[in-house]
Amino acid sequence: MLKVCHLYPDLLNLYGDRGNVMAYVRRCQWRGIEVEVHRINLGDPVDFREMDFLFLGGGSDREQNLMAKDLENRRELLQAAVEDGLVVLAICGGYQLLGKYYRTLEGHVIPGLGLLDFYTEAGRERMIGNVVVELEIEGENVRVTGFENHAGRTFLGQISPLGRVLVGYGNNGEDGTEGARYKNVFCSYLHGPLLPKNPRLTDHLISLALMRRGLPAELAPLDDRLERVAAEVMLKRLLE
Catalytic residue, chosen from 92, 150, 187, 204, is: 92
Catalytic residue, chosen from 6, 150, 191, 204, is: 191
Give the C-alpha separation, 51 to 47, whole Å.
7
DSSP character at residue 142: E
Residue 146 CB: number of other CB atoms within 10 A? 25
Give the C-alpha separation, 180 to 222, whole Å.
29
List C-alpha distances in Å: 57 to 16, 18, 49, 103, 189.
9, 7, 20, 19, 10
Q: Does 38 qualify as catalytic in the annotation?
A: no
Chain-centre distance for alpha carbon 171: 13
Give the C-alpha separation, 77 to 55, whole Å.
16
DSSP character at residue 192: S
Contacts 24+ apart (CB under 8 A), 80-83: 80/48, 80/49, 81/48, 81/49, 81/51, 81/54, 82/115, 82/182, 82/183, 82/184, 82/185, 83/183
Q: Which residues are designated catalytic?
A: 92, 191
